[in-house]
Structure 1
Amino acid sequence: MDIVNDGLEKQRAKRRRVARMKKMIIYTIISFMLITLCVMIFLVFEVISLQRQIDALSAKIAVSETVDDANEMVDDSFLDNLYLVDNMDNIAEEGDIPMVYLTFDDGPSDNTDAILDILDDYNVKATFFVVGKDLDTYGDAYRRIVNDGHTIGMHSYSHNYSKLYQSEDSFVADYNKIHDLIYDTTGVDTNFYRFPGGSSNKVSNTSMSVFINYLNSVGAVYYDWNIASGDATSQAFTADELVDNVMSDVVKYKTSVVLLHDASNKNATVEALPRLIESLNEAGAVILPITEDTEIIQHVSVVQ
């Protein structure tokens, strides 16, 4: 009997131990879950708090950048004696017919003939701001631009920023070189100029006012742009995206000077050109080459 009782007692003790172990395991799991939940709630609040701080900081930075952008033409030592050109009079109003000027920088190139063929197919005249190239290879391209009735302008001879913008002397020498190349090759005494990087570039080692004053002194007119197709950026836009980039902005202005590029690696620009012309025609735009009568589009000008 005692043996039976001892066995039963041992079984009861074992059950109690098992029950206690189960409770401990359950309590441990519950405690772990509660701790985890508390940590997660804490982390959520921390993330929300950090996001608010980031948003506030971003807002401050945006405001700061806006102020900087508004004042950079005054504060930037490279752009002293310049002011931002106010083009508010060029904002389109209802009923305005868009005047669009397609401009091609950096040519001539292996794509020049293809661009000229497309323009000819659509009976469209454009403007080519050319650089200095080997005449044995590209002499016919310079001449065809002019013979096809397009406007030819200067985009520097070297397109070497550090050399071109090193000093007034280097700029003048480069200007004369590209002007004479165009005149000697095509017979055109062009006075249209486009600064590499635009008149508001930040890479010039000399104040842009020096170069602008020189252009003014020789009767040259520099044109910037108010619409960029995007083909100059490192981002590889498709032909359709290039067209969309232009068309989304054309509606904003009475006069639109569109920045495009004539370069051997700009195949997307060539591919986009027919659809761009068709889209502009559908929008009722008039496509013209830059002439003496064209509204001047500039980013900055010399303080008078």
Structure 2
Amino acid sequence: MIYEIGAIIIILLFIVGFSFRGTEDDVMVAVKKQGPPNEIPMMENAPQLKQTMKGSIYATSIIQKEKEVIQQEKNQKIVYLTFDDGPSSDANELLDVLDHYGAKATFFMLAPHIKAYPDVVKRMVKTGYAVGLHGVTHDARQFYHSKKSPLHEMQEDQKVLEKITGVKSTLIRTPYGSVPYMLDSYRKEIELYGFQLWDWDIDSDDWKSNSKAYVSRVINGIKFMDSIGKHPVILLHDRGPTIKYLPILLNWLNKNHFVTKNLEESMDAYSFKCNDRCHPYGS
């Protein structure tokens, strides 16, 4: 009798084990047929889960961490280096200098130059710099010809950059800055198409000479902006003489504990306001 009961138990265990194995096989077959999920569920896409977590210790810790990050950024001495008119034939050297000092930067580039030096633009993206748009012609007469002309130049520049790098940037800087020729009607046109217009806080005037004079001008500007608690956007140009003396500026930034960062599309773009200062080109 004992032997019969033991045999029955063994048979039952075998059947149950086979059933579980079959279920596992079925699941694996289904996974292989369907493939991986198209999208991994993220926290921001799970409102019910977020609601469930609300008030929990875990949710509180997340909020606290976010506050700490925001406060940390407020306490940081941040500057935004931006380079216009490139990429130039010296752009690889510029990237070498920035890489050496661990500096971030944003490049506002012209479509013909992007086409001329595609490899350096790809390097910018791969290395983690921000890439933006500066138009096509850099000719004020053409660029500011009508309210549509800035839009068309930026759209063309955007297509060229995206074709070469896969990045569809909405960061733009207009030639010579947005005042005085970027009329309010022009601004509304580009904003309608999602472009973010950036000017600057500190003009280095690096294009005026081939000396290191621009470095002192920038440093003085940074000191003032830091004294009033602002993070300056600095206008520089992708050109040989600027690159030659750039290590002096970067070394000063590092010694004085400034952090360089990229401009990002999530930021509120800073641009000059017309305030009755704008007028059509040529008038």
Q: Shared fold (TM-score greater than 0.5)?
A: yes
- Distance across 2 between alignment mates of 1:157 and 1:209: 21
Gaps of 5+ in 2: 1-73, 277-283
Question: Are residue 158 (structure 1) and residue 165 (structure 2) matched?
Answer: no
Alignment counterpart, residue 233 of structure 2, candidates 257, 272, 280: 257
What is the rounded CA distance, in whole Å, between the counterparts of 2:136 and 2:275 in structure 1? 23
Give the SS at the match of 1:190.
coil
Q: Provide the C-alpha distance between the structure 1 equivalents of 2:83 and 2:94, rounded to a whole number of angstroms.
A: 9
Query: 1:1-304 alignment to 2 at 5 Å?
Result: 97-133=76-112, 137-201=116-180, 204=181, 208-233=183-208, 236=209, 238-239=211-212, 241-253=213-225, 254-262=230-238, 266-294=239-267, 296-300=269-273
Which 10-residue stretch deviates more, 290-299 or 171-180? Answer: 290-299
Q: State how far apart, in whole Å, the 2-side matches of 1:109 and 1:156 are.
A: 15
For residue 269 of structure 2, what is the amino acid of its counterpart? I
Deviation by residue 1:257-295 (Cα, 9 ceiling, x = unmatched): 110001xxx322011111111111122211111113445
Shift of 1:215: 1.9
Normalised by the length of structure 1, the TM-score is 0.61
Separation in 1 of the partners of 2:183 and 2:123? 32
Cα distance in structure 1, aligned partners of 2:157 and 2:236: 20
1:211 and 1:152 mapped to 2: Cα distance? 22
Distance 1:272 1:295, change over 3 A: farther
C-alpha separation in 2, matches of 1:288 and 1:166: 34
- State whether residues 243 and 276 of structure 1, in contact with CA within 8 Å, keep that contact through their aligned partners in structure 2: yes
Give me the identity figure in percent: 30
User: Secondary structure in 1 aligned to 2:86?
Assistant: coil
Q: Could you report, residue by residue, the CA deviation over 1:119-156 in whole angstroms, capped at 9, with x for unpaired residues?
A: 11112110000002256631112211111110000011
Matched AA of 1:220: F
1:219-264 Cα offsets, whole Å, 9 max, x none, are 211110111111133xx2512x2211100010222211110001xx
CA contact (8 A) 2:82 2:107 kept: yes
- Give the match for residue 4 of structure 2: none
Aligned to 2:12: none
Distance 1:191 1:284, change over 3 A: same
- Contact 1:199 / 1:298 at 8 angstroms: preserved in 2? yes
Question: 3-state SS of the aligned residue for 2:216?
Answer: helix
Residue aligned with 1:182, SS = helix
Judge conservation of contact 2:172–2:196 (CA < 8 Å) in 1: yes
SS of residue paired to 2:188? helix
Q: SS in structure 2 opposite 1:166?
A: coil
Stretches (4+) displaced over 4 A: none
The answer on whether the counterparts of 1:255 and 1:295 sit within 8 Å (CA) in structure 2 is no
Between Structure 1 and Structure 2, whose CA radius of gyration is higher?
1
Amino acid at match of 1:259: L
Q: Deviations over 1:185-228 (max 9, x none)?
A: 11111010001111113xx3xx5212211121112111101111
Measured in 1, the distance between the counterparts of 2:153 and 2:117 equals 19
Determine the C-alpha separation between the residues in 1 that align with 2:266 and 2:207: 27
Q: Could you list the runs of 5+ residues in structure 1 that have no partner in the other structure?
A: 1-94
Query: How far apart, in 2, do the equivalents of 1:172 and 1:284 lie?
Result: 39
1:48-93 CA distance string (max 9 Å, x none)? xxxxxxxxxxxxxxxxxxxxxxxxxxxxxxxxxxxxxxxxxxxxxx
